[in-house]
Structure 1
């Protein structure tokens, strides 16, 4: 098959001069009567795309191999490049996983091309930061090759809580000591503090960034109105703006992610880091399917049909408030009939997964990754095999064509839609 390749400027000029100096070109009649002579282009072969070369260079060192389907994207509209799959700490650094197993999972994730590790004192206490800091200290990995993301937790149980300047600065310094790092890549404010002025919060985040302790900051479980308020304060007081929002996203929690996060990205540059792709009460209808049972110990305390949020505030005595904060309440099953209907939908989704040759867990992860607004999807793993089982679901994304997605939408029946606009003239 013939290929058309572009030649360099010098070779084009040389060919042009050669044709002009040819005596056969003096007469127009001779040129018209002579058969066309094919032009030979002696050129270089086309190079690969710049994006591919960047990804290849990032994954060549330290025996790292790019996992099929793994890509690197900018976090928000910043220049920070993260893998589209990140390793969360809620399962890996939980009490049920030993330090040896956790280190093996972290190493396997890094060698597979994952460069983001998400931590939070809300999930596993201070143990996660201590363990990850010790693991990174033992590894010969360059500091520029991985990204550490931790949270400042709005803990309702402790007196040292909130998003005041004092608490933010003290929390950042304490996290640096536990992680044994010179700086933290991304610090996320976990839930908005209604008792603290937004101006004080954004000024405190601007301070820790200008001091070199933190590179970027973001939010988690903030409403779109609260995010816009923080952005407006940053612009008003000339402070560094947030780049990311961590939001719950799965087949039964879609409204915030699909309706509002893309709008926030286009307007103010706030990206999306999604979590809980399999935290929707995903206990497989087939009880022997261990791959679908990716639940933490705290999740086992909940009803198996209840949608569990990995970022729930477990210090609350009642789960009603935490359910409201984790995902919008109108998307939560509030009655036994709705819970049973959700279970029936999961059974139908699993039938589609079996037809595609994958597990229910893999289909859920691939479905979340299909959304272009999700720049990084956080996953947890208890073993190396469990990690590979999850990240291999990226190979399923190309199979989710229009037909499959339409079938899933028909089964779920919960595609979010904006309320129709009402004209003020019609109300008169």
Structure 2
């Protein structure tokens, strides 16, 4: 495993992080989830990402139990707040009441006194940004989080939030966007703004919900047990990539991966890590062997000719419009 600083902060994290969205507490039984987390630890991963909304809080609980007994100072634990976690009007969003209650609930489920990074899971257009940032500042000052970050914020939102964080003397150090060789919307605006502000990216779905592994073949039935057949939510996220034009081009990456001595999944993870503003790529898993294989992307350096060839193959199907950033008001 190799390690990077998160943005311009002093926090060092593993360049491959383990995340449990759509798996722990839902798609994968707890015993299997614990085995995946053990595989991550054995592979040198120290950074673990979750959220209060994943599996209605069960994902945090599963992660907390699996990490029990680990030296707390030796791991970096991240969680998020924003999406509804209950029926009440204040069981959601980035208002002060919800943030201060949500952090306590997350800490209880995770079985820890603090998280290393507390993230706004989306931008909340219904709450003054000042209220949100002041509440996050109080979370940090109370010792319940070491740093703050966000997920899927636009460049303008990052600038506004960072300016308030500086006024409040709170370390705002990260953004967690979707990013892969197929989904490149952060490159035009979010990455330049983040470089300017000292914010690092912790990217999710580097293998495009499994599409960049090559397991979905054009014109073939969906593999049984794959993300695309998951009726608990996974199928909806992967559906946009299950077009023959996309799948055919992914298959054309296979000779490049073979030449580099990598699997297609390892190539995809190494591709996002080539971006110096990316501090970590989040991988998920339903089996320990998936973790063991995907972490082999750590430390891989892809040569310029291979990167050019990848761009040429994927350019017709890759998405790069910055307006598609999830935090854009038009996409809410």
What is the TM-score when the length of structure 2 is the normalising length? 0.85
What secondary structure sits across from 1:285 in the alignment?
coil
* Aligned positions of 1:16-415 closer than 5 A: 70-137=1-68, 139=69, 141-155=70-84, 158=87, 159=89, 160-235=91-166, 237-256=167-186, 258-279=187-208, 282=211, 283-285=215-217, 293=226, 297=230, 298-302=232-236, 305-307=239-241, 339-394=243-298, 397-398=300-301, 400-413=302-315, 414=318
CA distance in 1, matches of 2:66, 2:247: 40
Structure 1 residue 406, shift from structure 2 partner: 1.1
What is the Cα-based RMSD across aligned positions, in Å? Answer: 2.8
Deviations 1:198-237 (A, max 9, x none): 00011001111111111111000111111111122233x4
- The answer to whether the 8 A contact 1:86-1:115 is kept is yes
Structure 2: give runs of 5+ residues left out of the alignment.
323-332
What secondary structure sits across from 2:120 in the alignment?
strand
Structure 1 residue 293, shift from structure 2 partner: 5.0
Structure 1 residue 82, shift from structure 2 partner: 0.3
CA distance in 2, matches of 1:172, 1:88: 18
What secondary structure sits across from 1:259 in the alignment?
coil
Structure 1 residue 359, shift from structure 2 partner: 2.8
Distance 1:279 1:387, change over 3 A: same
Structure 1 residue 411, shift from structure 2 partner: 0.8
Structure 1 residue 284, shift from structure 2 partner: 2.4
CA distance in 2, matches of 1:213, 1:280: 32
Distance 1:277 1:294, change over 3 A: farther
What secondary structure sits across from 2:309 in the alignment?
helix
What secondary structure sits across from 1:182 in the alignment?
coil
Structure 1: give runs of 5+ residues left out of the alignment.
1-69, 309-338, 419-428
Q: Which of 1 and 2 has greater Rg?
A: 1
Deviations 1:260-294 (A, max 9, x none): 3442333221111111111257152176997x956
What secondary structure sits across from 1:306 in the alignment?
helix
What secondary structure sits across from 1:247 in the alignment?
coil
What secondary structure sits across from 2:172 in the alignment?
coil
What is the TM-score when the length of structure 1 is the normalising length? 0.67
Distance 1:344 1:76, change over 3 A: same
Deviations 1:99-138 (A, max 9, x none): 222112112211221111101133322111111222222x
Structure 1 residue 355, shift from structure 2 partner: 4.1
How many residues are aligned here?
313
